[in-house]
Amino acid sequence: MADGMQGALRGRSSSGGPGRQRGSLSVEAAYVLPVIIAAAMMFMELANIGLTINMGASALERAVQQFRQDGAAGQMEGGAMETLVRQRMVAASHNYLDDENIATVEVERFASLDAMGGGAADDDAASAALTNVPAWRIEVDVRKDFITPLPRLLGVDSGAFRYRYQQVLAYLPQRTEAGSQ
């Protein structure tokens, strides 16, 4: 009888009863859950970066569009345009980007599109009309903080990412009836 009891106890301990299954499940979960959490954090960071890039691009496009509608960019100097670009981007981004997120705004004025491209103008009347049209190159750097600690855990030096946008603002002359014939 004692031998039968020892065999039963031996069989139970070697069969891996419910206590062992629970233990192995918790060990597997301990390995898998951090990977799932890191993947979710990575997905959130990529979504934040994508949203910031798209929101910044549309906000800059809207700010440049407002300059075209105003028609007043020709009378402005670079500093005044930089301030207006910054304010209009904040408003156009529905306050997703604030003034602190827009790191730098650079506005460079050129006498013409030809001067911007570095090309020489021809001597005919059509190119003379184009060389008298001013143009501006607008560059904006956006800096947005990461939303999770994952980049710091991976060794990224700063706590934010940067993205640079560039737009050209120029007024093309209207065609006249003589020029279209």
pTM: 0.70
pLDDT of residue 126: 52
Integer-rounded Cα radius of gyration of the chain: 32
Region 147-174: what's the mean pLDDT?
A: 84
Mean per-residue pLDDT of the chain? 79
Answer yes or no: is pLDDT of 41 > 60: yes
Which H or E run includes 135?
A: strand 135-145
- Secondary structure class of 142 (helix, strand, coil): strand
- Which among 72, 130, 133, 76 has a CA at the least distance from the CA of 107? 76
Answer yes or no: is pLDDT of 124 > 70: no
